[in-house]
């Protein structure tokens, strides 16, 4: 029982660090994970990754256009649109479970 108080303090410190990274993620990536490449003729999703319209971001191939209204990676769970999903996304990166997919979404999105 004596060890529970120091563990609680370390847990609060860890949660504070996760919260800080989640707020930084909100500032940089809010709304960025909901655009993807749609087919011009059929309006179906062609690619399952975030895209952009300018050169540093991932561009869509010919015959497609980058539009909003994509649910997002992991069926919309991996996102930085509100603080709860941002904390969950940062926790996903800390546990190293599926963090490489998020790395590719963020690097080129």
- Which helix (H) or strand (E) is 5 found in, with range? helix 4-29
Helices vs strands, H then E, count in the chain: 3, 2
Q: Any idea where the domains of the chain sit in the sequence?
A: 31-108
The model's pTM is 0.74
Q: What is the pLDDT along the chain (109 residues), one digit of tens a residue?
A: 888 888 999 999 999 999 999 999 999 888 778 788 888 888 888 877 888 777 777 888 888 888 888 777 778 788 888 999 999 999 988 998 888 888 877 776 5
CA–CA separation, 81 vs 87, rounded Å?
A: 11
């Amino acid at each position: 029982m004596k060890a529970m108080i120091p563990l609680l303090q370390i847990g609060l410190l860890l949660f504070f660090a996760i919260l800080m990274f989640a707020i930084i993620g909100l500032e940089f990536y809010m709304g960025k994970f909901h655009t993807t490449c749609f087919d011009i003729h059929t309006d179906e999703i062609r690619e399952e990754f975030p895209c952009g319209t300018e050169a540093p971001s991932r561009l869509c191939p010919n015959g497609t256009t980058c539009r909003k209204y994509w649910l997002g990676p992991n069926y919309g769970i991996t996102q930085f649109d509100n603080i709860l999903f941002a904390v969950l996304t940062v926790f996903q990166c800390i546990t190293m479970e599926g963090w490489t997919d998020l790395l590719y979404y963020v690097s080129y999105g």
